[in-house]
Structure 1
Amino acid sequence: MRVFSRKLDNVVEVYDTNLDLVRTFAVPSRSTFKEPGSEGHAVTRSRDRLIYATDTAVLKVDPDGREEWRFDLGERGPRCGVSFTDVELSADDSLVWVYAPNAMADRDREDEWIVLDAATGELRERHVLPTVGHGGDQYPLSDGRMLLEVGEGQDGIQIYLGTPGAAPHDYGWGDRSLHGVSPDETRFVTVGHDAEDLAVHGFPRGEVLFRCTLSAFGYRDDEEDVFVEWSPGFLDDDTVVAVVSGIDDEEDTEWWRHFRVDARTGEVLGELEITTLNQYDMDVLGDGTYVITDTDGTLRRM
């Protein structure tokens, strides 16, 4: 199981494999559109070091919050928009990958994908990206590579594959949202930008192995106010969990349902009968288990 952590307002909580809280790191309050603060974070496998981004820098701190290194990104400009820096550790904890949304942060330079030495914070690589992103999500691979999704709002979504020492590979789609890699790293899952379908792709080439539109889950493909949510994931090598949501017009409330999908054939295997706080409150771990949150805020591994 990967290191599981969550960020609340001004702390990052770190858990062991039993989901017992083992450490808490203090961080600045969450960054907002106009107010500075903490943004993306990553925890080392030893669970005793935190790497996190603010609106101006990436920092590594020890358990007492003492700064071990800092990599400056530069101040946000007066015309900054929604822009959140993401950080992720490579699978072996040796590198820190940083997506910096410089264009939206009004830093007077293009977006960058930056690679730092995790021990020292020394710059290893800096790649310019042709994006104007609001934020990014990264997925480490066992061989040291990294997948990155950049969200550009109404302009779409870009997906890149990073390899240390090489230029990023651009999948070139612009309309697929990335949501995870299979545990055996032979496939990855995406959702259409307009939330109209789910697709599983071969990795690394990205060829579509199958798609599931709303009709696969028992709804009309042209049904209004029903969506394939941007929250699927690999429960294990053989199963993807997909979330379909909609609006109950009579009650004026949202609803959502979780479905199991055969990750090799695309067959919808039935509904996963669980209750979650919202459409996004489920973190699949790839080993057949998942984490949800109780109404009192307690994490549960199921």
Structure 2
Amino acid sequence: MSTDPIHADAVHHTARLVATVPLPLGSARADAVQLLPWSGRLLLVQHGDEELAVAEIGGAGAQFRFPAPWPRRFGGATVSPGGDVAVFSGVHSVQAVDRTGEVLWELPHGCWATATCAWTRAPLASYRDDPRHQNPDQGSAAFSVDGKTVWVHVRQYAEGRRPYEEWLVLDAADGEVLCRAETMTVGAGSVHFPHPDPACMGLSIAQGDDDAPVLWGRRDGRALAVARAEGEILQSVSPSGRHFLCTDPGQWALYLHDAADGEQLRRVDARAVLPPVPGDDMARWDYEGAYPYEDGAVVSTEEYAEVPRHWLVDPRSMSVRGRIAYPVPVAGSPRSAGPGMWCTVAGQDAAVHLWRLADEAGEVGEAGEEIRS
């Protein structure tokens, strides 16, 4: 297929709507939705100021909530594959809680606020209204796919040295640190990307400039080996886990990496293959994307637009196969929803649409049973 900019925009691939799922907390009082595609289970997660809401998509359709130890502006949260434990990554510590809000374990760490403080395990009342702790930087956390470990990005302080950041792998049962590595970053925020192999994890760290790195970690017992890609932002991991897809802070190109060693295999420049929309000097890849098929990633340009353009890209050749055509309006960028599917936000951020490619007979059919909601 031609990768000429004119031809790429002319070929369309139809998306089939699988399900529309209302957001449990809406959009006004909660962060953007997360989709956690654990093996055999898809969880929709929303973090509000007072609770973390979780809805199982398909299966029994269970819904449950975790009391939040602090408002969402003070950190992020994630949920275990079993849905029985939530981990909150906060300004001063990482906490694991059950559905009643009981703290199962807590890992204190250095303060993420811009003003250095010595507080650890600080009660919320001691910093909630403190001007120095408003709009803090943030780390993040994620469970491995088997639920046995939790990977966390934290800030640390030690006497005689500047603040530094670490990537820790914790025992999910008790929070024990199993292995660690310094990230050599000054992060403003981060996102974890679980891998089909529970010993592996991706971490994308925002630093507010063009040297934002992607870290690819592999745990071997008490050792954590980390491969690094400078100046890139991780979008998604392939269903097999063999590859991962990135863009860059300038949104110039897509990059395909080998997950075994982090090596960049190939790239595609947006300017070379996509026409710009009227008024723009060039097309630019968005920061989020999905990798639902080994031979097909769904990525976008102009996520800010009323009608963003979503594209089907073949990672094997990094060629644009054409544009995604939707039967209903979508907003923003596509996001991962597990093998064979991706998701988009519905109008007014009130629901999430789940999609498959209508013309993918083999691989889509093998991705799992049809989801009912």
Name the TM tier (shorter chain).
Answer: 0.7 to 0.9
Conservation of the 8 A alpha-carbon contact between 1:202 and 1:209: no
- Counterparts of 1:227-238 in structure 2 under 5 Å? 227-238=284-295
Deviation at 1:13, TM superposition (A): 2.0
Q: CA deviation at 1:91?
A: 1.7
After superposition, residues 250-269 of structure 1 pair within 5 angstroms as 255-269=307-321
Distance 1:286 1:265, change over 3 A: farther
- The answer to whether 1:159 aligns with 2:236 is no
Where 2:266 maps in the other structure, the secondary structure is strand
C-alpha separation between the residues in 2 aligned to 1:216 and 1:78?
A: 41
Q: Aligned partners of 2:58 and 2:269: how far apart in 1?
A: 34
1:182–1:286 CA contact under 8 A, matched in 2:
no
For the residue of structure 2 that corresponds to 1:93, the secondary structure is: coil
2:217 touches 2:225 (CA, 8 Å); kept in 1? Answer: yes
- Flag the 1:257–1:101 CA change in 2: closer, same or farther, 3 A: farther
1:63-113 Cα offsets, whole Å, 9 max, x none, are: 11111111111445662674112001112111111111458xxx9521111
Percent identity of the aligned residues? Answer: 21
Tell me how many residue pairs correspond in the alignment: 284
Aligned to 1:54: 90
Q: Is the alpha carbon distance of 1:25 and 1:299 closer, same or farther for their aligned partners in structure 2, counting shifts above 3 Å? A: farther
Question: Of 142, 163, 166, which residue of structure 2 is paired with 1:112?
Answer: 166
Query: Do the aligned residues in 1 keep the contact of 2:85 with 2:99 (CA within 8 Å)?
Result: yes
Does the 8 A contact of 1:196 with 1:214 survive in 2?
yes
1:255 to 1:88, Cα distance in 2 relative to 1, 3 A:
same
Specify whether residues 198 and 121 from structure 1 end up closer, same or farther in structure 2 by C-alpha distance, changes over 3 A only: same
Task: Give the superposition deviation at 1:257.
Answer: 0.8
Tell me which moved more, 41-50 or 67-76: 67-76
Task: Work out the CA distance in 2 between the residues paired with 1:301 and 1:152.
Answer: 31
Q: Are the aligned partners of 2:112 and 2:155 in contact in 1 as well (CA < 8 Å)?
A: no
User: CA separation in 1, counterparts of 2:194 and 2:224?
Assistant: 16
TM-score by length of 2: 0.69
Q: Any gaps of 5 or more consecutive residues in structure 2?
A: 1-36, 117-134, 356-373
Query: Does structure 2 retain, via aligned residues, the 8 Å contact 1:181–1:189?
Result: yes
Equivalent residue of 2:209, what SS? helix
Residues 240 and 212 of structure 1: is their aligned pair in 2 closer, same or farther, counting only changes over 3 Å? farther
Structure 1 residues 246, 284: closer, same or farther in 2, change over 3 A?
closer
Task: State the TM-score, normalized to the length of structure 1.
Answer: 0.84
User: Which of 52, 57, 63 is equivalent to 1:12?
Assistant: 52
Give the distance between the partners of 1:122 and 1:78, measured in 2 at CA: 27
User: SS where residue 273 of structure 2 aligns?
Assistant: helix
Matched residue, 1:194: 250
SS at match of 2:302: strand
Asked if structure 2 preserves the Cα contact closer than 8 Å seen for 1:134 and 1:151, the reply is: yes
Structure 1: give runs of 5+ residues left out of the alignment: 32-36, 248-252
Q: Counterparts of 1:214 and 1:96 in 2: how far apart (Å)?
A: 39
The structure 2 residue matched to 1:121, chosen from 175, 180, 184, is 175
Residue aligning to 1:214? 271
Specify the SS of the correspondent of 1:214: helix
Any conservation in 1 of the 2:210–2:250 contact (CA below 8 Å)? no
Tell me the residue number matched to 2:65: 24
Q: Distance in 1 between matches of 2:330 and 2:189?
A: 25
Which deviates more, 40-49 or 161-170?
161-170
Please point out which of 277, 281, 285 is paired with 1:224.
281
Task: Measure, in 1, the Cα distance between the counterparts of 2:247 and 2:142.
Answer: 22
Deviation at 1:254, TM superposition (A): 6.0
* Conserved 8 A contact 2:165-2:182: yes
| Segment of structure 1 superposing worse, 120-129 or 204-213 | 204-213
The residue aligned with 1:288 is 340
2:316 aligned counterpart, secondary structure: coil
**Aligned-pair distance for 1:21?**
5.2
The one-letter amino acid paired with 1:30 is R
Task: Return closer, same or farther for 1:295/1:21 CA change in 2, 3 Å cut-off.
Answer: farther
> Does the CA contact (< 8 Å) of 1:291 and 1:300 recur in 2?
yes
Per-residue Cα deviation, 1:180-200 (whole angstroms, up to 9, x for no partner)? 110111211010221111122
**Greater RCO structure (CA 8 Å; 6+ sep):** 2
Residue 225 of structure 2: aligned partner: 168
Name the residue aligned to 2:138.
84
Aligned partners of 2:149 and 2:171 also within 8 Å? yes
Q: Deviations over 1:203-258 (max 9, x none)?
A: 223232332423312339xx5364211112202211111111188xxxxx665211
Q: Report the structure number with the largest CA radius of gyration.
A: 2
C-alpha distance in structure 1 between counterparts of 2:111 and 2:276, whole Å: 47
The alignment yields a C-alpha RMSD, in angstroms, of: 2.7
Structure 1 distance, partners of 2:340, 2:286, is 21
